[in-house]
Amino acid sequence: MNINIRRMEKTDVEEVVRLEALSYGEHHWSKESFYNELSNNLAHYYCATNDENILLGYAGCWHIFDEAHITTLSVHPDFRKQGVAQKLMFSIIDDCYKNKIKYITLEVRESNIAAISLYEKNGFKSIGTRKNYYQDNNENALIMFTENIWYEKFKTLYNNLRNRSNQN
């Protein structure tokens, strides 16, 4: 399956919100939240589609000075474990390099083992916990952070991931 990554547009919001509800139930972002994000100069949002232009997933982050904060990343349940999340991560990291970002951070549910594994594979480390972070069930969030993405250690990890991905 070909996975195409492009910038999210306002015309994507209806479908993104459907996927958001599928992924997160009743505690999901609203259409207005996504429209606001797309109007925010700090925000960078992406859609993953296949060759039939079916939405496979989406992701977003904010660029604040030399740091990027991943705000969301979701993949349709029918397309998980097929490389969609990794392609979205590549887009975020590539954009960080283009914009001279040094660090990437995020919060993730402690119970979201699949997401934690993805982030760890991409060089994120847990640096703490936000207690009762999620409003729907008061679940804690892990705070995850990369080292400086310009450091050779991170660049080597990233390039190795890229090379393995291109071989598949």
Catalytic-role residue among 45, 46, 119, 158 = 119
Give the end-to-end CA distance of the chain in Å, rounded to a whole number: 11
- Please indicate whether residue 147 is annotated as part of the active site: no
Q: What is the mean pLDDT of each run of 10 residues along the chain (168 residues)?
A: 96 96 83 95 97 97 98 96 97 97 96 96 96 86 97 97 86
The pTM of the whole model exceeds 0.75: yes
Catalytic-role residue among 107, 110, 139, 147 = 107
- What topology does CATH give the domain 4-167? Aminopeptidase (3.40.630)
Asked whether the beta carbons of 60 and 43 are under 8 A apart, the reply is yes
Q: Where are the domains of the chain?
A: 4-167
Per residue in 96-140, pLDDT tens? 999 999 999 999 999 999 999 999 999 999 999 999 888 788 889
pLDDT recorded at residue 168: 67
pLDDT recorded at residue 106: 97
Q: How far apart are CA 158 and CA 93, in angstroms?
A: 9
- Please indicate whether residue 107 is annotated as part of the active site: yes
Q: How far apart are CA 90 and CA 59, in angstroms?
A: 11
Nearest Cα neighbor of 115 from 63, 64, 59 is 59
